[in-house]
Amino acid sequence: MQQSEFLNVVMPFKDKLFRLAKRLLVSTEEAEDATQEILLKLWTKNTSFDRYKSVEAFAMTMTKNFCLDRLKSKQAGNLKLVHSNYQEKGSLLQKQIEAKDSVNWVERIMAELPEQQKMVLQLRDVEEYDYDEIAEMLDMQPTAVRVALSRARKTVREKLVQKHSYGIG
């Protein structure tokens, strides 16, 4: 496979890989590195593309595994620090941009979710994949995907309401 062909295959979903990586790793730089790494891995595997039902789903699974490995490794400690710094900064935001801020809250609330719910929510509500696709990507049962999704959505709503009333009071 030529590079241009490969890029044509990969281009449509590289942003999705990046966003999933960022959802899991939080830091943009980490996510960029992870995406590069995954694209490279894909490139080295490009001869076996035909074997996979969907290259996109395969790439998403790779991203998931790669990021979870990253989080498990030592570097995860650094990432958490980055995140807590970011939260600090968030609390100092001015009142006038509160409307925009509450949108940002969603991001922070999502960061607090368990990894699996994070991924399900990202894949469904941001990337708008089907349940079956998500089940395949995450190697879960479709019913388990629904349960996780429902839980994630309810948690986000509850925390959002909490933060909102707290912010006003």
Integer CA distances (angstroms), 6 to 14, 18, 23, 39, 92, in order: 12, 17, 25, 10, 45
The two tokens of residue 45 are 């595997």
Please, what is the minimum distance in Å from the beta carbon of residue 19 to other proteins? 6
The two tokens of residue 58 are 């395969």
Residue 5 touching other proteins (CB under 8 A):
no
Please, what is the minimum distance in Å from the beta carbon of residue 94 to other proteins? 17
* Beta carbon nearer to other proteins, 34 or 58: 34
Residue 17 touching other proteins (CB under 8 A):
yes
Residue 111 touching other proteins (CB under 8 A):
no
* Beta carbon nearer to other proteins, 72 or 94: 94
Residue 83 touching other proteins (CB under 8 A):
no
CA 43 – CA 1 distance, rounded (Å): 9
- Residue 151: CB partners within 8 Å, gap ≥ 6? 117
What distance, in Å, lies between the first and last C-alpha atoms of the chain?
60
CA 39 – CA 68 distance, rounded (Å): 17
Binding site for other proteins (CB under 8 A): 3, 6-7, 10, 14-15, 17-19, 22, 32, 35-36, 39-40, 43-44, 102-107, 122, 124-128, 130, 146-147, 149-150, 153-154, 156-157, 160-161, 164
